[in-house]
Amino acid sequence: MEQILYRYNPWWESEFNPKELFLRPLLMRNLESILASKDIIFFTGLRRIGKTSLLKIIIHYLINKKGINSKNIFYVSLDDYLLAKESIVNIIDEFRKIQKLRFSDKIFLFLDEIGYKQNFEIQLKNIYDTQNTKIFASTSNSFHLRSKSSFITGRHKTIEVAPLDFQEYLLFKNISISKKEGYLLEKYFLEYLYTGGIPEFVLRGEIEYLKELVDDIIMKDIAAQHNVRSIALLKDFFLLLMERVGKVFSINKLANILKISPDTAKRYLELFNSSYLIHLLPRAGKTNEVILSAKKIYAADLGIKTLFTGFKDKGNLFENYVYLKIKDRNPAYVYKDGTEIDFLTEDKTLIEVKYNSELTKAQSKLFSEFKSKDKIIIKSYNDLKKIEID
């Protein structure tokens, strides 16, 4: 095992100065508070979204900015088949032996793809409670955390790593636009709506890469881990979901189309949601309305949406982008007497997205009469600044 662990931790033997790590602004702004907390930090999000890069960024920061001894920092990818028979506790014990560390010595653990280890929550609780450590972990499936978080209640914080937003996209591609060239922003924004924010796809632009990514998620994160036998059925189900982005959809209709039971359709929906390929938007209202009403669906990444349904409906992609920008504000859709308003955020901001179009009379009436703290209509790229929060 020693050779494997040395391979994962090159900073034990030499300087660690990776050249290709993208410093995501949101993480860097909050990094000091993250490090100061004793909580276990879970990075979640789509496969290949950059969770491993974030772990490496923090490692680099600890060594080069905080002066932490590199021998006290340990990274491992737990989906490595060479470590399949090893428990997390045994792996950490081996790390301590290699570096001759005492239990009183503080260590920094970076455990990538932790969901591949059975009973990881029990092992983390044991390490957290008995060792002087700061733990960072990642997973590509929220099901792992939701089903086991009770074991580490009060000991962890979850940070979802989202695809690059438009501003990060510009930084990632080294695109700098002066005030005089402001007119170019909309051009690049349309390019972003088509490309989305999966970092490697932004760099490579190869459609096959996105296809392979979706296939990997369906086969490895959904089918293999949840004993779903029909890969073809899962792919058909996902295509139907992408065709319904931005719409209130019926789980029974999906079940009828695919000739599966509603319970199976509900299970598939939850599996795609927990793999971060989609997001579900509830209806605003009383508890029973929220529980019983159909949900709207949005794609987690615009490039994946475009891959499956094309680029013709820019308005649909634009609405999806607005949703992704306000997702952390816990939005819901508003529905009354057959009329719908796109979003009502938790802070009571009513938002309707109308890309280069106008509200219907019924929408205008509902929009004006609905009680909220703020009301925003977004029709173009320039209107997006209305939903920015400092």
Task: Indicate if the alpha-carbon torsion angle 361, 364, 366, 369 is positive or negative.
Answer: negative
Q: What angle do CA 325, 331, 334 make, to 5 degrees?
A: 125
Alpha-carbon distance values, 297 to 206, 232, 249, 377 (Å): 26, 21, 8, 20
Question: Environment class of residue 371 by beta-carbon count within 10 Å: exposed (0-12), middle (13-18) or buried (19+)?
Answer: exposed
Q: What is the pLDDT of residue 321?
A: 98
Specify the 3-state DSSP secondary structure of 262: helix
The one-digit pLDDT tens for each residue of the chain (390 residues) are 999 999 999 999 999 987 777 878 777 888 888 898 899 999 999 999 999 999 999 999 999 999 999 999 999 999 999 999 999 999 999 999 999 999 899 999 999 999 889 889 999 999 999 999 999 999 988 876 776 666 677 788 999 999 999 999 999 999 998 888 888 999 999 999 999 999 999 998 999 999 999 999 999 889 988 899 999 999 999 999 999 999 999 999 999 999 999 999 999 999 999 999 999 999 998 888 788 889 999 999 999 999 999 998 999 999 999 999 999 999 999 999 999 999 999 999 999 999 989 999 999 999 999 999 999 999 999 999 999 875
Q: What is the pLDDT of residue 147?
A: 64
Regarding pTM above 0.85, the answer is yes
Question: Environment class of residue 79 by beta-carbon count within 10 Å: exposed (0-12), middle (13-18) or buried (19+)?
Answer: middle
* CB-based contacts of 7, cutoff 8 Å, min separation 6: none
Q: What is the CA radius of gyration of the chain?
A: 23
47 is written with which tokens?
A: 């496969």
Domains of the chain, start order: 2-160 (3.40.50.300), 313-390 (3.40.1350)
